[in-house]
A and B are shown apart, each in its own frame.
Chain A
């Protein structure tokens, strides 16, 4: 029993990748949200009747969890949209919390009431990650569309903390809130909470009223932020930061184990030991993609998982990217290329410029 958390996770992930066991599942329970962040990749309005009618039922999500669990799922993320908009969230989570998963929940925290916090405190997930979109009503409103969200998010954080639930805060960096990064770090530290940030904003995954490209940081600004994290988060001493990546598609030095010769388009765990299940019932490699897709609710989880692996292996590798001298500094991946350009194998100008900027900054700092 002497294995550390990190060692155990690494061992399990390595074996699961090799054996194609769906160790990590991500359930997108809804596309609807009570906020309207312009940079969101999936965001229908809270009362969208059409979206509601296409959501999968609580019974279906519970069944999917059971089936995925039997196939080896250990880590489970429940996310949206905003999961607490679902009237049947308690039914779903209540069942799933007893199935033996290490469960995380993503939420904006604004719908957390004393009653919900108390209920969660009786059956806490391993962690709840709360997105904060600004550190004042004004900034929060500019980014999410609703100034009232700020106070409600803070109330949600404190209610969950009062239940002893393990919380982590994250900030999605966009033009409208980058000036709040230092205040965000202070706030997290004041409350003794871990924090991280989402640094890459993808073009939207599916049709909704957002335009993330207009909100995200320019390659120049993002590269500068990355280079000076301590300054932007207000630390006098260098600190290690956890970078949240949507769909966990990006890790530090992701290409170290990536073998271009293997023709494996994904350097991450997508389609090998992790999957994403969209709100309307598709099984996809990660959060950014709505294709390739398999259909677990129609064909059963195991068949869909098997089909997804086959579909992933047919995704073309971007030849230009794999031969690029800046690959080690680049944030490229098939999902990002697809959303940026419409193709899996076409270099994306935003990512190319970002890699050039990062490379230039590193070189200037004589770190290469």
Chain B
């Protein structure tokens, strides 16, 4: 899974915000607000990552049960997919 080109993740005022740039504004005109863990997953997905890579990152970064982390990751991926943000 890889996020489309044309999005920029920015940390502003203690918030993580994704901004569409260039041509991408045509199909996505707005901002995406992410939690800290969402930003971690987004960064991985910018370069392309499989579910197991994301899980490894989450477990490395946070003290969280594997089942809970996996559920969060799947929820996050589903939301991105619904918004058409994957290549």
Q: Quick one: closest B residue to A12, CB to CB? A: B13
Would A98 and B22 count as touching, CB distance under 8 A?
yes
Q: Count of A residues near B, CB < 8 Å?
A: 27
Q: List 11 A-B contacts (CB under 8 A).
A: A8-B33, A15-B14, A16-B12, A19-B13, A23-B13, A74-B10, A74-B12, A99-B21, A100-B19, A122-B22, A123-B22
Flag if A100 contacts B21 (CB, 8 Å).
Answer: yes
A97 contacts the other chain (Cβ, under 8 Å)? yes
Q: Shortest Cβ distance from B6 into chain A, in angstroms?
A: 9
> A126 — nearest CB in chain B belongs to which residue?
B29
Q: How many A-B residue pairs have CB under 8 A?
A: 63
Cβ contact within 8 Å between A5 and B26: no
Instruction: Indicate whether B31 reaches chain A with its CB closer than 8 angstroms.
Output: yes
Which residues of A in the span 1-29 have a Cβ within 8 Å of any Cβ on B? Answer: 1, 3, 5, 8, 11-12, 15-16, 19, 21, 23
Bound-state CA distance A126–B29 (Å) is 6
A162 to B36, CA, bound (A): 39
Chain B residues with Cβ below 8 Å from A74 are: 10, 12, 17, 19, 31
The answer, among B13, B17, B22, B29, for a CB contact under 8 Å with A97, is B22
* Distance of B18 from chain A, by nearest CB (Å): 9
* Majority-rule SS of A interface residues: loop
Contacts of B60 in A (CB 8 A): none
**Which residue from B12, B21, B26, B34 sits with its C-beta under 8 Å from A164?**
B26
Please tell me which one of the listed residues A12, A124, A125, A126 contacts residue B12 in the complex, with CB atoms under 8 A apart. A12
Contacting B10 at CB < 8 Å: which of A8, A100, A123, A124?
A100
In the bound complex, residues from chain A placing their C-beta under 8 Å from that of B22 are 97-98, 122-123
What B residues does A1 contact at CB under 8 A?
32-34, 38, 76, 79
Q: Which residues of B contact A15 (CB under 8 A)?
A: 13-15
Q: A1-B76, A74-B10 are in contact. List 19 more A-B contacts (CB 8 A).
A: A1-B32, A1-B38, A5-B30, A8-B15, A12-B12, A15-B13, A16-B12, A19-B13, A74-B17, A97-B22, A100-B8, A100-B21, A101-B19, A102-B19, A102-B31, A122-B23, A123-B22, A126-B25, A166-B29
User: Given A12-B12, A100-B8, A125–B21 Cβ distance below 8 Å?
Assistant: no
The chain A residue with its CB closest to the CB of B32 is A1
> Which parts of B46-66 form the interface with A (CB within 8 Å)?
none
Min distance, Cβ A77 to any Cβ of chain B, angstroms: 15
- CB proximity of B11 to chain A, nearest CB, Å: 9
A72 within 8 A of B: yes
Q: Given A1-B38, A122-B23, A123-B23, are A21 and B13 also a contact pair (CB < 8 Å)?
A: yes
| B-side contacts of A164, CB under 8 Å | 26
Do A5 and B32 contact each other (CB < 8 Å), given the known contacts A23-B13, A72-B13, A100-B8? no
Among B13, B22, B23, B33, find the residue whose CB has the most chain A CB atoms closer than 10 A.
B13
What residues on A are CB-neighbors of B17 within 8 Å? 8, 12, 74
Shortest B43–chain A CB gap in Å is: 14
Using CB atoms, name the residue of chain B closest to A122.
B23
- Greatest chain B CB density within 10 A among A74, A100, A126 is at A100
- Chain A residues 87-106 with CB under 8 Å of chain B are 97-102
| Cα distance A101–B17 in the bound complex, in angstroms | 10
A254 interface contact, C-beta 8 A: no
Inter-subunit contact A123/B19 (CB<8 Å): no
Complex CA–CA separation, A11 to B30 (angstroms): 15
